[in-house]
Structure 1
Amino acid sequence: MLHKMTRPILLLALSLMLSACSPEPDVAVSTLGQDHGDSFQQAQQQGRANLTVLYVPAEGFAYTNAAGELTGVSVEIMRDFVRWAERHHRIRLELDFVAETNWQHFYQRVMQGEGGVFGLGNVTITDARKQELQFSPPYMNNVAALITHQDIAELQDWADFPNQFAELEPLAFSGTLHEVRIRRLRDSYQPDLAIQRVTSNPDLLELVASGTFYSYVDAYNYWRARQAGMPLRDHPLAAETDETFGFIMPLNSDWTQFMQAFFAAEGGYRNSASYRQIMQQHLGHELAELLLGHP
C-alpha cells in the first residue's frame, strides 16, 4: 500500500521535483521542422553517429541537477547505451538532447522523426502505440495509482465507489493512458460528470490535493508528492501494475535491433549493477526498490 510507506528519503522541494525543469544551456528547448538523426546503417559504415534524443523534463528521469547537468534515470540509461556501443561494437555515438515540455508534442515529434531519433518520456508500451512507433525493450515497470485527497477513506470495494467518491470529480492528464482509466471509471460510476483535464502532473497533483478531484497518476509521482507533504491517498484496490515504459523511436528507425541487443547483453541490462545504481541514485532507495520489485 503506497501511502503507508513512510521511511524518509531525501527529496527536492515539490516545486522542483514535479515541475518542468529548465534544460542545461547547451540543450535545445525546441526545434523547427522534422527531427532527425543518423541511421544505424550509417553508424555501421562510419563507426559513429549523431542521435537526437527528445525528452520530457521530469524529476528523477530527465532533469537538470544542481551542477547544471542533464541527468536522470532515462538519460543515464541512454549514456550506458552509448558506452556499450563503443566498448563492444566500436561505434561512437553522440547524443543531442532536446527538451520538449509538452508530452503530446513530444510524442508527435518522435512519430514524425527521421532516422536516429529517440524519445525519453516514460511512454507506456501498448499494442496501439506499436502501430505508430517503435519501442525499446522495457526499461522500467510502472504502477498506476488511483489517488484522492487523504481525507477520502481507502476504497475497499468497488461497490463503495459511488458513495465514497460522490463529492469528487474525475480529472485526467490529457492524451495518456490515465485518461482512458479515468474515462472508464467515470462511465461506470458517474456518467453525468464531465472529465476535467490537465497537461502536467504538477497541475494534476495540486488539483487532487485540493479535495475536489480524483485521478490516476504514476506511482513515482504520487510517492514524491506524498513525501513532499501533499495531502494525498492512493487506493490500492484500483492500482494497475502491468505497465512497462520504453524508449520510443520512429517507425522508420533501424536502431531497434541494436537497442534490443543492448538490453539483452551480459545477462540483461535491467539485471545489471549499473541499472540498479541509476534507479537508486535518481529515484531514492525506497522508490527504486518499489519499482524494481515489480516483475
Structure 2
Amino acid sequence: MRSTLLRTASTLLLSVFLFACSPATDVAPQALGEDSGDTFQQAQRQGGASLTVLYVPAEGFAYTDAQGALTGVSVEIMRDFARWAEQHHRLQLDLHFVAETNWQRFYQRVMQAEGGVFGLGNVTITDARRQELQFSPPYMNNVAALITHQDVPELQDWADFGSHFAELEPLAFSGTLHEVRIRRLRDQHQPGLAIQRVTSNPDLLELVASGDFYSYVDAYNYWRARQAGMPLRDHPLAAETDETFGIIMPLNSDWGTFIQAFFAAEGGYLHSAGYRRIMERHLGTELAELLLNPN
C-alpha cells in the first residue's frame, strides 16, 4: 500500500458527506423482496428496459453534487453501461436510482430482488457471496487499511502489536469483510477481548479517532477522513490489496452476461480513458492513482 500517499497527500478537495438521493428517485423504504426491474429477455423484446439501481450513499461513489444531482464513480459507471447498451445494442435502459443508507439492508434487498435490479455499494467480490448474488466484473480495486489514532506508533513488526495496541479495543463494521479481518487480529493478539461493532463508516471513523479503538476501513474512507482533519494513522504492514468491488445483481438475474460484455468491450472498460476520468473527477488524481494501481 502506498502509505506515503495516504499520509501526505493534501490536494484532494472534500465535500461534506451526504446521505441523500436525487430528488427524482427519492422513495419510501420498501419491504425486502419488493424491488424489481425488467429482465434482459424483456429488454430484447421491448427494445429497452426499466432498471432499478439500489445504491448506498457514499462520498465519491454515489452522492449528490452541489447542484443536487446524483453522481459518483459507481453511478457514472452505470450510466456508461446504459449509453453503451443504446449505442451498440439499440437498447434504451431507463435507470431508476434508489438510495438505501443501511448497507446490510441494501445487500439483502438486492439478494431478494427480482429481474433487472443492480446494487452499488462497493461490495467486495468473494466466493461466499457468489453463492448469494451475481457480480459484474470488478469495477475497482480496493485497499483495506488498518487504522488507529495518529498517536499510536506505526506497526512495523507484528511482534509489536501487543505493545502498540495494548490500550485499544477492536472495532468492526458489522457484516463486512473488515469484521472478519478484525476478528482474525483479535483472535491472534487479544484473545477473548470483545469486538465493538458499528453499522456506518462515519461512526467507525469517529470512534477510531477518539483514540480507544483500532479497525479496518477501505482506503478511500481513510484518505478522505485524513484530508478532513481526523487524527488517524494507517499501518501499511497490515494493509490488504487483493480484493475488488463489483456491481451486484440477484442470483437469478439474466443481466449478468450483458454487463460482462460491457466491461469487456473495446479492450476493457477499466482500461478506457473514460473510466480513468471518472475516477479522477470523483476521487481526485492521487487517490484514483492509488486505487488504479494498488500494489
Q: Which runs of 5+ in 2 are unaligned?
A: none
1:34 positional shift: 1.4
Give distance in 2, aligned partners of 1:88 and 1:97: 23
Report what 1:262 is aligned to: 262
Deviates more, 1:249-258 or 1:28-37: 28-37
Give distance in 2, aligned partners of 1:82 and 1:22: 23
Structure 2: which amino acid aligns with 1:6? A
Q: Does 1:228 align with 2:228?
A: yes
Give distance in 1, aligned partners of 2:6 and 2:285: 16
1:26 positional shift: 1.4
Give distance in 1, aligned partners of 2:202 and 2:247: 23
Report what 1:150 is aligned to: 150
Match of 2:194, SS state, is coil
Structure 1: which amino acid aligns with 2:285? H
Structure 2: which amino acid aligns with 1:27? T
Q: Which runs of 4+ in 1 moved over 6 A?
A: none
Match of 2:23, SS state, is coil
CA RMSD of aligned residues (A): 1.0
1:73-113 CA distance string (max 9 Å, x none): 00000000000000000000000101000000000000000
Report what 1:4 is aligned to: 7
Report what 2:20 is aligned to: 22
1:293 positional shift: 1.2
Report what 1:188 is aligned to: 188
Q: Does 1:112 align with 2:115?
A: no
1:193 positional shift: 1.0
1:25 positional shift: 1.5
In the TM superposition, what are the counterparts of 1:1-295 in structure 2 within 5 Å? 1=3, 2-12=5-15, 16-17=16-17, 20-29=18-27, 30-32=29-31, 33-294=33-294
Give distance in 1, aligned partners of 2:224 and 2:270: 23
Match of 1:26, SS state, is helix
Deviates more, 1:32-41 or 1:211-220: 32-41
1:34-87 CA distance string (max 9 Å, x none): 100000001111111000000000000000111010000000000000000000
Give distance in 1, aligned partners of 2:68 and 2:285: 23
Q: Which runs of 5+ in 1 are unaligned?
A: none
Give distance in 2, aligned partners of 1:107 and 1:244: 17
Size of the alignment, in residue pairs?
290
